[in-house]
Structure formats: structure tokens, C-alpha cells
Amino acid sequence: MILIIAEKAIAGRRIAAILAGKQLPGTRRGYAIRFDFEKDGKKYVVVPLSGHIVDIDFPLMYKQWLGTDLKKLVKADVNYNETEKSISGLIKEVAPEIKEVIIATDADREGEAIGLEALNILKEVNSTVKIKRAIFSAITEKDITDAFANLSKLDFNLAESANSRREIDLIWGAVLTRFLSLISGRLGKEFLSTGRVQGPTLALIVSREKERLAFVVKKYWQIQAVFEKDKAQFSALHKEAKFWDQKKAEKAMKCTTPPKGIVTDIKKRKKVLARPVPFNTTSFLRAATPIGFTAGRAMQIAESLYQSGFLSYPRTDNSVYPKTLDLKATLKELAKVKDFEKLANELLAFPKLDASSGKLAKDHPPIHPVTAVQKEKLDPQMWKIYELVCRRFMATLAKDALTENLSVSIDLNKEPFVATGQIYVEKGWKHFYPYSKATEVLLPKLEKGNEVKLLKLDNLAKETMPPARYSQGALIKAMSDLNLGTKSTRAETIQKLYRRNYIEGQKSIAPTKIAIAVINGLEKHNSVVVKPEMTSNLEKEMDLVASGKKSKDDVVGDSREFLLKALLLLLEHKNEIGSEIRNAARSDSIIGSCTDKNCGGQLLIRKGRTGKRFLGCSNYPKCTVTWPLPQKGLLSVVPGACEHCGTPLIKIVGKRYHYQMCINPKCKSKADWGKKKEEKEITKKPVSKN
């Protein structure tokens, strides 16, 4: 019998159906499921995993945070323990009958490590089994058939590279998280976390916030004119775009008599707007976040679409289509989708299909559609991601966009103004990709020497703006540029920062006070644990494991030594760091002013004898005002007050939800408590192709 190991149930079901040539019911026991079939006289059994079925942890003696010597924890053993007993039990059950095992997990480091976990469990019972590997980038009939017709070898070095990352992240995360939590007194559910990637990522966000806080606002003035020609109105700005001297701007305003300008020059130029390159993981997430998705949510949906056979594998650094990808066949597949039929056929009418190219990487192809699915067959959010990928694919095959840009110089009583216009000569790829708007600015027909009538002249007072906060897409790009984490982990790192209440705001990411205190405390004492160079260097070390130039044990051992040096420095300054974090925590616990207007105290987050949290006045026992609080989720203050009752607003952040509410349980908005969730889990039901 031949055993096929798939990464997840939905992928296993599709692989079994493709190889068997029909849908298979599967036999379920607990969380485990198997698909049995015969082909060419051979018996097969497909056993899907649920991602990792083996977890790593320290021995039980290190379980207690209090009393554990962190220096010893740096050196502690790491144990590998089975977590999905029903699945590992099924593998052991079929093991004696197995002559050959084919690892068909995702073709990346994590997939290789997950496959190795299943293989090691199998070999506990059957050590002589033959091992083969199926490599594919999409779960379609062609890709799966080709992969199983051209089996390769399991890459043990790649798997060990992933395991080195798991061990390093466990050790660094556990040691640094316990250090922060212990010195700040934040234990239990309110613990403070950091890690090898989490710390430097948070430092990026805090650094940007410091730039904003240190930014010195400067005032400037812009003079804007509204002219008219042949009953068509258009705007023009003074040639000196920003007046830093108000008096100079006011002097320039004395140009309204007579109220007419003369066109002195017209410049035309054509501008090519290059079509976008294919999606890699980073560019995909950057495109998904402006249309309403968090990075983690977008990746979750893309993975679901991949496992359902609609998209290619969504974890890739590549932005160059391989020569083996049949572009015409993919377009013909898209032409089957009602929403894309016309667009796909427009591209199929091209004499030759020539795709744009970005950066070539030696991993999976760029993210692209592989199978047609109609809009009504998908959950609305899944369709939104599927449509984004499909339109990006078509945009990469379209022509460049071409604009004609006008710059019209106008003399208004010896003050120079400039009007700019833009029209599209060819919309090209923008016709297929509405996420990048084709904005036009129309000017009336103007010629040198024309007279234009002045309708309005404004002196606009403005201020310089501080650097923008990171969006999730911009943060993903910054992490990629600095080699923080991997394409597979960056989105989850950001979600973890939200769950830890370190950051807030979905479109514009702001650090909380506690986050700033944590980073300040670590940076003040020259700690390498929040510097991107540290994480980047460790990533390079793990790459050496993948290439077989270093062993996992050597790389993990080196990282332990590096961490120990950093820990010793932190321990020398634990009192100062702890004090700063505790002060920030106290500040963060203030929700607002006491609701008794005669009190003058502050409402603070407190805990009762039972451990339940509530809001109490800082003037207790003189003031006994209290308000109840939700007991689950991280809590933070929201600026402003409830529009219904005027009490303070709070925000609750859980693992898969976040919402805001007022603290008054009698308020009519109480009915909305817990319902204003901005994120919902993906529907678990299988997606039909038909």
C-alpha cells in the first residue's frame, strides 16, 4: 500500500479525488480522516494532517514562570511532542501495510517540516518504508497529475531549517516574554510578549511614532486660482507651490486687477504607466489591505482558495511567471467566469501574450488563478480576494497605460500660475485593474496667447504633515525589506501585535503606551533584541541549514549564545526597564474621568477579589462609582464619549475579533456589545467547483 500525506483535510480530499478520478467519501475517526482507492493495481491511502501535528516545548520543569532561572531556560532542551493523537494514531495504524510514502504537503520549508513530522511518526512503526516527495504549486488536475508522475526526494535540510526556526523562536520568545512579564509584574492573561521577529517589528512602528511626535509643524500658504475659458472652469496653482512667508503670499494675492490671465506657455508630454508585475506574497498583501482586509485575513483566504484549487500557492517571493505557465490556457479558464468573460476574451484576442516581470526567485510561481469559479459559489470575502488575483493576472498581460499630460503656464498680472491636466490616451492595464484608478483632469482647449477669466483667488493656509503611520501593507513591505520573518509569518506577526494590545488601528497602525514603554525600555539599554539586524542575521543562519552548510543544532546553539549575552545585559537593567513599563501600564489603565461630575477622579481598570475586572474610581473609598467590564479580550481606551449616554468608550480585542462599546450597561447601544466585529472567521464549509 502507498501512503500519501497531505497537509490539510481540504487538500487531501482534492488530491485523493484527482488521483482516483472521482470524489471519495473518506472514513473519519475523531479529527483523522482517510481516503482509500486503487489505481493501476496499487492500493493508496491518503491521510491529511492538520498542519503541524507535532509541537515543541520545554520540559515540564520549566513550566513555572516564577522561580525559573532565565539563563537556564536559554540552554534548556526542546522536546517534540505529538499534539494530534487521532491523526498520528491513524498513521501508526496503517504503517505496517505501507511500502512507500509520498509526502504531498505544501512545497515550502514549513510543508517540508510538516511532512517530516508525519514521516518520523510512520518510521516508529515501519522504518524500512520508501520515501518520495510530490512537489506542486496548485491543486489542479494537471499540477497534481504532473507532480505524482515526477516524484522527487524529501528535502531533509529544508525541513531542518524550518525546525531550527521553530526552536529559535520558542527559545527567544519564551525567554524575552518571561523577562518582560516578570520585571513588569504582568503575569497571567496580561503577560507582555516579545520575540525574535515581534520585537523588531514593534520597534519599527514605535520608531515611526517617535518621528511623528518629534515632527515640527511648519505653516505654509498656497495660492489657488479658478479660471474660465469658453464657459469651462479649471484650477491653477501659483508657480511657487508653497509660500513659507505669509507676507510674500499676501503680496502675491494682489494680482486680481484686471481679473484676467494670459496663457504664456503650453507643454505636452506623454507618460507611460507601466503595468504591474505579478503578485508575490508581499505585493499581494499590500494590495489586499487597502480593499478592507487585514494581512492575516487576506492570507487565510488565499490559502483556502489554494486548497480549494482556485489559486496557486500564495506563499512566494517570485514575481516572474515561469515559462511552463500556459498564459492562454489560464485566460481561457477565466473566460468561463461570467464576471471576467469579456475581459479575458479581450486579452485572448491579442496576437501575442507577453507578461510583465518583476523579481525572479527560486520558489513557487507568482500568485495567479488556476481554475474558474463563479461569484455565487464563493463567500463574498473569498470572491473579493479571488477577483483581486484574477484582475492582477489580467493586468500583467495587458498593455501599459499611456497618458497625455499638460502643463499650462498663465501670467496673472505678473504672477505666474500653472494649470495641469491629464487624459488617458490608452487605459491599458487600468481597464482590467480598477484598484488603481485612472484619474483624469480635463482642461479646456487652450493656446499660447489665450486670455482666461479669473473667477476666484484663494490664499490657502496649510501645515506640513508628519510621516504617515504604517498601514498593514506598508509594514509587510518594510518587514520584507529588512528580512524580518518570512513571507509565511509576517502577517501572523502583525496579528499577534494586535492580540497583545501593542498596536491599534487597522488602516493606520499606532503603538499603544505599553508598546512604546517596552521598546523604549529595551532600546535605552542598547538591546539587540529589537534591532532588525539581529533577526536578519539569524534568518541567514537558517538559510545555511537549508543549503546543508550548517546543522540545525549548530545554528540553534549559536542563537542561544547570542540570546544569553543579550539577556545578561537586560538583567543588569531590569529595574529601570520594569519601572518604565509599570508606569506606562498605569497610564494605560486610565479609561477616563469619573462619571460622578462632583468627584474629579479617574476611572481605572481594577480587579476584584475573584479576579474579575471592573472600572473603579481613583478616589475610592471616598467615591464608590464602579462600572462592569467584559471579562474576555484585551481592553484599551477609545477617544471621545458615547453619543447616546456620554460615558467613556472602550475597545475589546480578542484573538479573532475586535469591537468598541460604551461602559454603560443601561445605554441603548448596549445591544451592540460584542457585535461590532470587524473580522469574521472564514466559513468552514467546503467550496464547490460546480
- Rounded Cα gap, residues 577 and 570, in angstroms: 8
- Rounded Cα gap, residues 89 and 583, in angstroms: 51
- Rounded Cα gap, residues 682 and 461, in angstroms: 47
Amino acid residing at 81: N
Instruction: Write out 284-339 in H/E/C secondary structure.
Output: HHHHHHHHCCCHHHHHHHHHHHHHCCCECCCCCCCCCCCCCCCHHHHHHHHCCCCC
Left, alpha or beta for 26 (phi > 0: left; psi -120 to 50: alpha)? left
Phi, psi of 99 (to 5 degrees): -100, -30
- Rounded Cα gap, residues 269 and 273, in angstroms: 13
- Rounded Cα gap, residues 344 and 322, in angstroms: 20
- Rounded Cα gap, residues 247 and 251, in angstroms: 6
Helix, coil or strand: residue 457? strand
Q: Furthest-apart CA pair in the chain: how many Å?
A: 98
The distance of Cα 103 from the centroid of its chain, to the nearest Å, equals 29
Phi, psi of 123 (to 5 degrees): -75, -15
Q: Helix 141-149 vs helix 9-20: angle between axes, to the nearest 10 degrees? A: 80
Residues with Cβ within 8 Å of residue 223, at least 6 apart in sequence: 237, 238, 243, 249, 252, 253, 415, 417, 457, 458, 459, 460
Phi, psi of 635 (to 5 degrees): -120, 140
- Rounded Cα gap, residues 659 and 68, in angstroms: 37
Strands 613-617 and 602-607, by their bridges, are antiparallel
**Catalytic annotation on 313?**
yes
The distance of Cα 433 from the centroid of its chain, to the nearest Å, equals 21
Quickly count: other Cβ atoms within 10 Å of residue 185's Cβ.
12
Quickly list DSSP for 121-132: HHHTT-TT-EEE
Query: Cell match 516564577: residue?
Result: 66
Amino acid residing at 15: I
The grid coordinates listed for 119 are: 514521516
Helix, coil or strand: residue 240? coil
Give buried/exposed letters for 110-124 (b at 16+ CB in 10 A, else e).
bbbbbbbbbbebbee
The sign of the dihedral angle between the CA atoms of 112, 118, 120, 126 is negative
The H or E element containing residue 343 is: helix 341-348
- Rounded Cα gap, residues 624 and 616, in angstroms: 7
- Rounded Cα gap, residues 162 and 223, in angstroms: 59
In the DSSP assignment, the letter for residue 489 is T
Quickly count: other Cβ atoms within 10 Å of residue 242's Cβ.
14
The grid coordinates listed for 142 are: 494537471
The grid coordinates listed for 187 are: 503575569
Q: Which of 31, 44, 306, 313 is catalytic?
A: 313
- Rounded Cα gap, residues 45 and 41, in angstroms: 13
Q: Catalytic residues, which ones?
A: 313
